[in-house]
Amino acid sequence: MQSLTFDNRFIASLPGDPATAPGVREVRAAAWSAVDPTPVAAPTLLACSQETAALLDLDEADPASPEFAQVFGGNALLVGMQPFAANYGGHQFGHWAGQLGDGRAISLGEAINRSGQRWELQLKGAGPTPYSRSADGRAVLRSSIREFLCSEAMHHLGVPTTRALSLVGTGESVVRDMFYDGRAKPEPGAIVCRVAPSFLRFGTYELPASRGELGLLQQLVDFTIARDFPWLEGAGEALYAAWFAQVCERTAVMVAHWMRVGFVHGVMNTDNMSILGLTIDYGPYGWIDDYNPDWTPNTTDAQGRRYRFGWQPQIAYWNLTRLAGALSSLFAVPAPLEDGLLRYRDTYAACHRDNVARKLGLAVCSDEDLLLMEDLQELMQAGEVDMTLLFRGLAEVDPAKPDLAALDDAFYLAGKRALIEPALLAWLQRHGQRVLSEAVEPSSRTARMQLANPRFVLRNYLAQQVIDRAGQGETAGIAELLEVMRRPYDEQPGRESFARRRPDWARDRAGCSMLSCSS
């Protein structure tokens, strides 16, 4: 790990919390607090991502070294590391929540790799910080496995995301009340090292704005543009406008990817929205099995289902309106912020069209094709059809003579299948005609479809099986599943079982269809 060099620009450039003693507090007029990870009893490396290690120029032998588990379990610091927790606020479930901050994430520093790229390293679950409020600063193994696997799976799917370097077991237990039903119990603890160019969130700017700390707000914005958006040109309001438009554009691109692959974030609070448009904070997220735009895996959100799959595009927009509100003091008139929000709508609409074209195997997506997709989605919902298997199978259907053979595996219930079968066949005819109207070479059409429609996604039950095995001390399943998720668009002969639809036992099981925020 000699190769890691640090340039800790965030803490060097922005005001920090003058207090350094332990303890939860309100931190005003400061962007961060210095805090060391709390050492753990027996740090053990459970999994490592070779791609993320390569981003950091780590040697292949590094992860196996005892020092690696010590550093990424929070027991030792490398030269140049200066740990801190970031201060931010957020709107949670539509309501302003005030100061939140990194309650269990501790950034170790900003590593610069040999190509000059900046990668901030952050331990999640490394112990209490001034922002821990009433919680313990720790994370349980089950949620850490989920974050580790999903952030890497998303990357391999081509979805903008924070990355995961390592998963370290702490050798300590953490007490959690998984269903908030008074039955708290000890669970194994773990720490994920997350990696991203920046972990700044919408809530980073909302907090100083809410407190009238306009100088700090402007410093934060200037810093973000200089460090994370250095290619933007101009000055003053024009520069701020260009930056906000970029944030809007990136957020649209990210959410369009979520909709393409069937990912439900689960907690799209503004403190969980990255300023770089990265998927961040993997908590009670889930993957669509049978297509249902109203589904959310998050039991904490079961009532209003604010963060349901189908609402994600409009929730992201609402979150951007909160960010725009926080930035309003930087602008004389609201027009540039409104232009940014328009950029979100335009970018999302364009990405959505692109998704429809690629998922349906069309060269271009007309207005009528948008309806073709909507009609398919209605059928999928009515017939409880598996989203991933249907789209993947669609590439195998002969457009000249469509039948359901290639889609056989996508149905969960024979009764529901029977209900939609005639309409689905009619839809396939319509789709087939549309495909043939374009005269695209069939093999190139299939290849294009396969790159938009993954064969393998991190189905909720797959992650849960790995978690169950890990609970029995068998952690090899984590690396096995990661290996499959490294090539989600390839067929991977011999690994068909990882592409199967959700088995019946997982239909209503905790961890597979329902998750709480307790993690």
Cβ atoms of 409 and 386 closer than 8 Å: yes
- Of the pair 8, 272, the CB lying nearest Mg ion is at 272
- 37 binds ligand AMP, rule: CB under 6 A: no
Map residues 63-82 to x or -, x wherever contact with Mg ion holds by CB under 5 A. --------------------
Contact between 102 and Mg ion by CB under 5 A: the answer reads no
- Binding segment for ligand AMP (CB under 6 A), chosen from 266-274, 481-489, 490-498, 504-512, is 266-274
Using alpha carbons, select from 203, 206, 200, 230 the residue that is nearest to residue 327. 206
Tokens found for residue 311: 């609402």
DSSP state string for 467-511: HHHHHTT-THHHHHHHHHHTSTTS--TT-GGGGSPPPGGGTT-BT
The answer to whether 126 touches 74, Cβ cutoff 8 Å, is yes
Instruction: Choose the contact partner of 104 out of Mg ion, ligand AMP, none; CB within 5 to 8 A by kind.
Output: ligand AMP
Least distance from C-beta 3 to ligand AMP, angstroms? 30
Kindly identify the residues of this chain, within the stretch 97-126, that bind ligand AMP according to CB under 6 A: 100-104
Minimum distance between the CB of residue 220 and ligand AMP, rounded to whole angstroms? 17
Residue closer to ligand AMP by CB (options 38, 49) is 38
Q: Is 281 in the site for Mg ion (CB under 5 A)?
A: yes
Spatial distance between the Cα atoms of 78 and 67, rounded to a whole number of angstroms:
10
Which of 112, 267 has the CB closer to ligand AMP? Answer: 267
Q: Can you give the C-alpha Rg of the chain in angstroms?
A: 23
- 207 vs 30: CA distance, rounded Å: 10
Cα–Cα separations (whole angstroms), residue 467 to 333, 463, 511: 51, 6, 9
Residue count, binding to ligand AMP (CB under 6 A): 17
DSSP 500: S
3-class DSSP state of 148: helix
Q: What is the smallest separation between the CB atom of 56 and ligand AMP, expressed in angstroms?
A: 24
Classified as helix, coil or strand, 206 is helix
* 194 lines the binding site for ligand AMP (CB under 6 A): no
Regarding 381 and contact with Mg ion (CB under 5 A), the answer is no
Told to judge if 271 belongs to the known catalytic residues of this protein, a careful annotator would answer yes
Binding mask 499-518 for ligand AMP (x = CB under 6 A): ------------------x-
Stretch that binds Mg ion, among 44-52, 185-193, 227-235, 269-277 (CB under 5 A): 269-277
Q: Nearest distance from residue 138's CB to ligand AMP, in Å?
A: 6
Beta-carbon count within 10 A of 483 CB: 12
| Closest CB 517 distance from ligand AMP, rounded Å | 6
211: exposed, middle or buried (C-beta count within 10 Å: 0-12, 13-18, 19+)? middle
Marked catalytic residue, from 36, 271, 301, 386:
271
Amino acid at position 151, single letter: S
160 and 250 Cβ atoms separated by less than 8 Å: yes
Smallest distance from ligand AMP to CB 131, Å = 6
Report the alpha-carbon distance of residue 57 to residue 1 in Å, rounded.
9
Question: Which option in Mg ion, ligand AMP, none does residue 138 bind, with CB closer than 5 to 8 A by kind?
Answer: ligand AMP
Interface residues for ligand AMP in 274-303 (CB under 6 A)? Answer: 281, 283
In DSSP notation, 250-297 reads: HHHHHHHHHHHHTEE-S---GGG-BTT--B---SS-EE-SB--TT--S
Q: Is 272 an interacting residue with respect to Mg ion (CB under 5 A)?
A: yes
- Sequence-separated contacts (24+) of 29-32 with Cβ below 8 Å: 29/208, 29/213, 29/216, 30/87, 30/216, 31/86, 31/87, 31/204, 31/216, 31/219, 31/220, 32/84, 32/85, 32/86, 32/87
- Structure tokens belonging to residue 248: 């809007």
- Site mask for ligand AMP (CB under 6 A), range 130-159, x = bound: -xx--xxxx---------------------
Q: Which amino acid is at 88?
A: Y
206 binds Mg ion (CB under 5 A): no
Rounded Cα–Cα distance for residues 354 and 244 (Å): 23
- Specify the residue, 102 or 384, whose C-beta has the smaller distance to ligand AMP: 102
Pick what 151 binds: ligand AMP, Mg ion, none; C-beta below 5 to 8 Å, kind-dependent. none
Q: Which of 200, 261, 267, 273 binds ligand AMP (CB under 6 A)?
A: 267
Q: Which two tokens stand for residue 203?
A: 């809530």
Cβ at position 79, least distance to Mg ion in Å: 30
To ligand AMP, the closest distance from the beta carbon of 186 in angstroms equals 14
132 binds, among ligand AMP, Mg ion, none (CB under 5 to 8 A by kind): ligand AMP
Q: Which residues here bind ligand AMP, judged by CB under 6 A?
A: 100-104, 131-132, 135-138, 267, 271-272, 281, 283, 517
Mind telling me the catalytic residues?
271
Q: Which residues here bind Mg ion, judged by CB under 5 A?
A: 272, 281
